[in-house]
Amino acid sequence: MLKIIAKTNQTNVVLWLFFLSFCLSTKKLYIGQVLDLPVEDRVEGTAATVALSIANGANIVRVHDVKQMARVAKMTDSIIRGTENGKEKKDSKKI
């Protein structure tokens, strides 16, 4: 298994762009650095990375805040992919 440990925010951004189909969004240090927040207050940063990853094609996300991120994923899927409750809407148009 490949393990990559990014040391800078720029490297983290590159990694996010490279691994968009599999989102490993957790309460990472760089979210805290960007938002200047402690671990317990990083849910919005995680939500942003999840939504962006889904918008760019991610089908799998790994997160800590499952309940909240499931809602983010569901809403993002609905907006981006035209799904409703995990199923494609009959009258949906792809963006």
3-state SS assignment for residue 50: helix
CA distance 44 to 66: 13
CA distance 27 to 45: 8
Q: What is the mean pLDDT of residues 13-17?
A: 66
Provide the pLDDT confidence category of residue 79 given band limits of 50, 70 and 90. Answer: very high
Provide the whole-model pTM: 0.64
More confident residue, 7 or 50: 50
Provide the pLDDT confidence category of residue 95 given band limits of 50, 70 and 90. Answer: low
- pLDDT the model gives residue 23: 59
Q: What is the mean pLDDT of residues 64-73?
A: 90
How far is Cα of residue 87 from the mean position of the Cα atoms in its chain?
20
Name the residue with tokens 């590159």.
14
More confident residue, 54 or 16: 54
